[in-house]
Amino acid sequence: MSFTKVSVAGIGTTGTITFTNVNVAGVITATSFSGSGANLTGVASTDNIRTNTNATFLQSVNVTGIVTTAGVNASGVITATSSIVGSAVTINASGINATGVITATSFSGSGANLTGLAATANVTTSSLVVIGVSTVAAGSTAAPSISPTGDSNTGIFFPAADTIAFGEGGSEALRIDSSSNLQFNSGYGSVATAYGCRAWVNFNGTSGSIGSGRANGNVSSITDNGTGDYTVNFTTAMPDANYSVSGCGGSGNEFGSFAFSTFGGASFTTSSCRITVFISQTANKTDVDTVCVAIFR
């Protein structure tokens, strides 16, 4: 049924007109429409759908053309085969371009092509887990590349190739150089290479069973070769035999001065070192109750 014009007098806002079919070439204006809209067709352009309030879609919205909007609130899925264009965001096959802020409860994906983060201030998280490789700037003593919140001049930086350094309060405190040497500042104003003690031992030379001594580091056992004559055996071998040996010996039961000596280069091997303790006045070897040996390399 078609009408050129319909005028119904005497029907107020609470009245109802029911038609089986209405074809209108002009504009139908109403405060509201009701019904499922399942068979609504023939909407030629978006100009034919207007609303003065926010439009809320509870189900999926499928668009084969372009959607231009200042804002879309959807609890379902928005699918576009072409693109969605808004005042601050454009979504198309190439990605999402936003001049404003994108807020979401979560993001998923590899992030392999994520670029354009101008500063770390743009990424805030309470916990960061990286399963790949993280690359940071070299940094400096005054501004380490890795530092804690609120203490920007303390942390880790990389002053040269194959070199790691640690800064504290704007000063370099420790460094591992490209030759794996450990350098540190122990209050002298600059870092210097530290040469560690590779082995040490404190033992009783008068004991019938010396073992590995009272206490030791990297010493597996002490061999008693005779009076005042001992071999210090290393748990982990030295890199070569060009190390330095220092030590001392003494006894609370004897008077006089005691000297410490090695058997020369022939007694230095990568696995052990032979030493002697003797009385200075007579040069006679003697067993004493305290012998201390340290190896440096």
Contacts of 257 (CB under 8 A, 6+ apart): 279, 280, 281
pLDDT value at residue 225: 92
Cα 156 to its chain centre, rounded Å, is 12
pLDDT value at residue 51: 62
Tokens standing for residue 10: 């005497």
pLDDT value at residue 96: 73
Quick one: pLDDT band at residue 291, thresholds 50, 70, 90?
very high
pLDDT higher than 90, residue 109 = no
pLDDT higher than 60, residue 115 = yes
Contact between 165 and 158 under an 8 Å Cβ cutoff? The reply is yes
On average, the pLDDT of the chain sits at: 78
Read off the pLDDT of each residue in 168-189 and give the average, rounded to a whole number: 87
Pairing of strands 78-80, 95-98: unpaired
pLDDT higher than 70, residue 244 = yes
Contact between 84 and 67 under an 8 Å Cβ cutoff? The reply is yes
pLDDT value at residue 224: 94
Contacts of 153 (CB under 8 A, 6+ apart): 141, 142, 143, 144, 147, 167, 169, 170
CA distance 135 to 181: 24
Contacts of 174 (CB under 8 A, 6+ apart): 165, 166, 182, 183, 184, 185, 191
pTM: 0.52
Read off the pLDDT of each residue in 180-208 and give the average, rounded to a whole number: 86
Which of 178, 173, 134 minimizes the C-alpha distance to 155?
Answer: 173
Read off the pLDDT of each residue in 37-60 and give the average, rounded to a whole number: 62
CA geometry: angle 153, 159, 165, nearest 5 deg? 60
- Between these two residues, 24 and 42, which has the higher pLDDT value? 24
From the CB of residue 26, how many other CB atoms can be counted at a distance below 10 Å?
Answer: 6
Quick one: pLDDT band at residue 280, thresholds 50, 70, 90?
confident
Read off the pLDDT of each residue in 131-157 and give the average, rounded to a whole number: 92
CA distance 144 to 267: 48
- The structural domains of the chain, with segments of one domain joined by +, span 197-296
Amino acid at position 210, single letter:
I
Greatest mean pLDDT range, 9-23, 51-65, 87-101, 226-240: 226-240
